[in-house]
Amino acid sequence: MSDVTVIQGDLFALDSPLRGSVRGERSLMAYPFFALTKQAWMTPLKYETDMVSIEVGPGPKGIANIYDKEVLLYIASIMATKLDNNEVVTQEFHFTAHDLFRVTGVSGSARSYNRLFEALERLQGTQIKTDIETGGEGETGFFSWLESAKLQYSKSASGDKRLKSVKVRLCDWLFRAILRDRQVLQYAPTYFQLSPVERRLYEVARACCSETEFCITIGDLKLQTGYQSSARHFKQQVKDAARRNSIPGYRFSIDPSESPNGKVALELVRIVPERQVSIASQPSI
């Protein structure tokens, strides 16, 4: 299933460096496609509502995680910038690991290069099945985030390898979404500094809460973030994020919702854009 190869050969024209902002496709923000741990996650992920069905299966190295997703965000950003500039885009992207690390705030250590190799393996090995349509088309069966992934290197006279670039081919599903639907949203610069749960809270807020506040039950928010631990632990994570005000651009709070008989029926998470908070806090004249 996984087919990440290391090759030496002629280098193509590079798509890096990324000169625009970091952006991501809205469906990948709104729904739980990625594991929230660095450890190999071998249990299938499932998300299902009346409107959307998602099933994510592991490859040999497990399901692609929220840190592996950084590669897709980088590719989406390059593609969106090209479209903004009316440049021709294809499903193949050719970039340097150094520029990817620059954008995501990762040091260019040997460990980082090893993690990139593992990320490419998981992105190609992970199997996704969903009824979400992109570009006016739907698909049955499974697909992987990357159809192919290659690390290109040069060799010194002594035989030492030096990584030159990364070449990947993006899957049809995500390529259509970015090319035709154009539902690509900008990320906050501090996104890459957030914890896995904070990243998902930010992405759900960014996808669902544009100009006005958005309310969602704590249970539905847990489902939408893809959190796999207990509901009690998830609630504490949301509380901690709200207390620290750690989600860039948004304020979170948990409010009790009363049923008709006066008893607390549900707990609602209220998400308010900081712009709206700033306006509301201004004194009236």
Tell me which residue range forms the domain holding 13.
4-186
Distant-in-sequence, close-in-space partners of 121: CB < 8 Å, separation ≥ 6: 2, 4, 59, 60, 61, 149
CATH number at residue 277: 1.10.10.10
Residue 6 has pLDDT above 60, yes or no: no
The two three-digit tokens of residue 50, written as one number: 């009346």
β-strand 4-7 against 146-155: which pairing, if any? Answer: parallel
Residues 162 and 247 in one domain: no
Q: According to the model, what pLDDT value does residue 197 have?
A: 98
Please, how many CA atoms are within 13 Å of residue 77, restricted to the half-sphere of its CB?
Answer: 23
Average pLDDT over residues 149-162: 79
Q: Output the pTM of the full model.
A: 0.89
Q: What is the mean pLDDT of residues 29-33?
A: 98
Of the three residues 186, 213, 248, the one that is the final residue of a domain is 186
What pLDDT was estimated at residue 127?
98
Is the domain of 145 the same as that of 262?
no
Q: Which backbone phi and psi does 25 adopt, to 5 degrees?
A: -75, 140
65 shares its domain with 36: yes
Q: Do 167 and 62 lie in a common domain?
A: yes
The angle formed by the CA atoms of residues 275, 278 and 279, to the nearest 5 degrees, is 90
- Match 């069966």 to its residue by tokens: 141
- The per-residue pLDDT of the chain, averaged, comes to 90
Count how many domains the chain has: 2
Quote the pLDDT of residue 248.
97
Would the CA dihedral through 192, 197, 198, 204 be positive or negative? Answer: positive
Same domain, 128 and 238: no
pLDDT of 11: 46
Q: Are residues 14 and 148 in the same domain?
A: yes
Q: Do 76 and 137 fall within a single domain?
A: yes
Task: Convert the pLDDT of each residue in 114-151 to its tens digit.
Answer: 999 999 999 999 999 999 999 999 888 999 999 999 99
pLDDT bucket at 5, cuts 50 / 70 / 90: low
- DSSP label at 62? B
Long-range contacts of 106-109 (CB under 8 A, 24+ apart): none
Same domain as 66, residue 148: yes
Mean pLDDT of 268-274: 95
Q: What is the mean pLDDT of residues 74-98?
A: 97
pLDDT of 54 reads 98
Q: Do the Cβ atoms of 36 and 233 come closer than 8 Å?
A: no
Rounded to 5 degrees, φ, ψ at 263 are -90, 150
Range of lowest pLDDT (150-164, 167-181, 190-204, 258-272): 258-272
